[in-house]
Amino acid sequence: MTDFFSTYRIRPAVLSDGDAIAALDQSANPNPWAESHVYDALTTRQNWVVETLLDRQIVGWLTASNVVDQAELELIVTHTNHRRKGLAKRLMSTWLAWCAEQLIAESLLEVRASNESAIALYLGCGFVKVGQRKNYYSVIGGGQEDACLMTRHFSD
């Protein structure tokens, strides 16, 4: 197994990453954001990217909002060719460490109820299921899907 730090690095995203992030989201997210939403996130939220050291390709992105002492994961996406290598877990760890540094009391997220791998990731990062939203997400081809609501509280 390749050492993460010899292949990738995580850094704060900057506005000039916008086109690469939008392209990543379009290619790897079944429900991609509009490019304008990506740029809005880069100017109004906390953002980190994973990039390859060899060619500086952005292969992961996490964006999260925060209000006072509460933070919410808005989106996390990894390139399909770079999945199952721990990128999402490292992005989550980076965000959660930032939350702790900022004295965030609670982190929130919602995830498609069918996204078992993401739910497992979030549970492994200390989140617990606290509810669901019925028919929250649209399904490609028609229909609706529930959202699973999760939270993580930080200790004082």
Domain count, the chain: 1
Confidence at residue 138, expressed as pLDDT on a 0 to 100 scale: 82
3 inside domain: no
pTM: 0.92
2 inside domain: no
Pairing mode of beta strands 144-153, 128-138: antiparallel
Confidence at residue 2, expressed as pLDDT on a 0 to 100 scale: 58
Residue that is written with structure tokens 């930080």 in the block: 154
135 inside domain: yes
Question: Please, is 155 exposed, middle or buried when counting C-beta atoms within 10 Å of its C-beta (0-12, 13-18, 19+)?
Answer: exposed
- Model pLDDT for residues 21-60, shown as the tens digit of each residue: 999 999 999 889 999 999 999 999 999 999 999 999 999 9
Confidence at residue 139, expressed as pLDDT on a 0 to 100 scale: 81
Say which range, 7-16, 107-116, 139-148, has the weakest mean pLDDT.
139-148
One-letter amino acid for residue 107 of the chain: S
CA distance 25 to 19: 10
CATH number, domain containing residue 116: 3.40.630.30
Confidence at residue 79, expressed as pLDDT on a 0 to 100 scale: 96
Domain that holds residue 23: 8-153
49 inside domain: yes
Residue that is written with structure tokens 């939350």 in the block: 99
1 inside domain: no
CB neighbour burial string for 112-136, b if at least 16 within 10 angstroms, e if fewer: bbebeebbebbeebebeeeeeeeee
- The 3-state secondary structure of 69-131, one letter per residue: CEEEEEEEEECHHHCCCCHHHHHHHHHHHHHHHCCCCEEEEEEECCCHHHHHHHHHCCCEEEE
